[in-house]
Amino acid sequence: MSLKLKLIGYPIKLSLSPWIQSSFLERSGVEGSYTLHEIPSKEIFGEEMKKLREAEINGFNITVPYKETIIPYLDKIDITAERVGAVNTVSLEGNKWVGYNTDGIGYVQALRDKFPDMDKDIDVPIIILGAGGAARGIFHGLVQAGYKNLTLANRTRSKCEDITNGTSASVITLEEAEKNIAAYNVIIQTSSVGMNEAKQIIDLSNIQEGTIVSDIVYQPLVTQFLKQAGEKGGRIHYGHTMLLYQAQKAFEIWTNKKVDVHGMDEEMIAKIKGEK
Ligand code: ATR
């Protein structure tokens, strides 16, 4: 049987997901295809879902702007997707559509693969900057992985509280975060600040040497934030790996196979820089 997989969203023409998932199919020896399915407006979303049901595809990824729109069309969603309030992966199981969210757990896996010392220390102090959809996914990914010492900081405080509600995580202001940044061993930048601009959400002058600093922005790959972190002795982590690892988790849901992503990181960097 040949697997039929798709990416749904708009705009998605420049997405790296088809390249990633096609590489996974090849690497794992699974026969199938992963193609784009653009839905240019919300008005036709319902109709398109009906067509997809009829086409009996095995699974799909769903991206902006439909990660929440999809939920009422699903038969079931898993606990992480429910907590995050967004779905990025759908799998046909029996005749049911089941929704998952692999963004956060994928991201945590990317960090752990790069920094194995994170695996051993669930009490490591971690701060997340920003409180949008990406922060929500990453926060729940960290909670699910067992991390206990979590802090959120954002320009709009109430959005942090919405995310941390019911957990023991702390909420502080961006000013407090900047002042006390040396207290954190892992800093995760999830806001859009720094995307195609040389701006930083907070200054990193006071970080400790060896601090893990991650930025989910990957346009440019080396943001101003990561540049300063590197200059201050931080261990830096590029945002594009989130895309690779959420894809790895999605593929595992569809096929039960965990693909070795070795070497794909470098290829992705070349693609992002427009070299390939
Ligand atoms: P996504 O869903 O991709 O994470 P989002 O929901 O638009 O994106 O969230 C963007 C995040 O970047 C928010 O936390 C936003 O802060 P607010 O909640 O206060 O709006 C943050 N952000 C964007 N521009 C910012 C800026 N100039 N300074 C500080 N934070 C900013």
63's CB contacts (< 8 A; 6+ apart) are 7, 8, 9, 12, 15, 17, 88
Structure tokens at 240: 């594009």
Question: Is the CB of residue 162 less than 8 Å from the CB of residue 133?
Answer: no
Q: What is the distance between the terminal CA atoms of the chain, rounded to a whole angstrom?
A: 32
Nearest ligand 1 atom, CA 191: 12
- Radius of gyration of the chain from its Cα atoms, rounded to whole angstroms: 19
Cβ atoms within 10 A of the Cβ of 66, count?
21
Q: Residue with the nearest Cα to atom 7 of ligand 1? A: 132
d(CA 274, CA 64): 23
Report, as ranges of residue numbers, the positions in the chain whose pLDDT lies below 50.
none
Q: How far is the CA of 60 from the centre of ligand 1 (A)?
A: 27
- Residue 132 CA to ligand 1 center (angstroms) comes to 6
Cα separation, 47 vs 34, whole angstroms: 21
Nearest protein Cα to ligand 1, atom 12: 191
272 touches 219 (CB < 8 A): yes
Cβ of 62: how many Cβ atoms within 10 Å?
26
Mutate to test the pocket of ligand 1, among 192, 201, 217, 246 (most ligand atoms within 8 A of CB): 192
pLDDT in tens, 24-34: 999 999 999 99
- Residue with CA at minimum distance from ligand 1 atom 21: 191
Instruction: State the pLDDT at residue 276.
Output: 66
Cβ partners under 8 Å of residue 217, min gap 6: 189, 192, 193, 194, 195, 223, 225, 239
Residue 134 CA: which ligand 1 atom is closest?
4
Tell me how far apart the alpha carbons of residues 276 and 266 are, in angstroms, rounded to a whole number: 11
Pocket of ligand 1 (CB under 6 A): 130-135, 154-156, 159, 190-193, 201
Ligand 1 atom with least separation from CA of 192? 12
Task: For residues 126 and 172, give the distance between their C-alpha atoms in angstroms, rounded to a whole number.
Answer: 13
Residue with token string 């997989």: 5
Residue tagged active-site, from 4, 51, 67, 273: 67
Of all protein residues, whose CA lies closest to atom 16 belonging to ligand 1? 155
Structure confidence at residue 24 (pLDDT): 98
Sequence-distant (≥ 6) Cβ neighbours of residue 182 within 8 angstroms: 206, 207, 208
Beta bridge partners of 189: 129, 215
Spatial neighbors of 276 by CB under 8 A, at least 6 apart, are 267, 270
Mutate to test the pocket of ligand 1, among 189, 191, 242 (most ligand atoms within 8 A of CB): 191
- Global pTM exceeds 0.85: yes
pLDDT at position 274, please?
81
Q: State how far the Cα of 239 lies from the Cα of 221, in Å rounded to an integer.
A: 7
Residue 67 designated active-site: yes
The residue whose CA is least distant from atom 30 of ligand 1 is 155
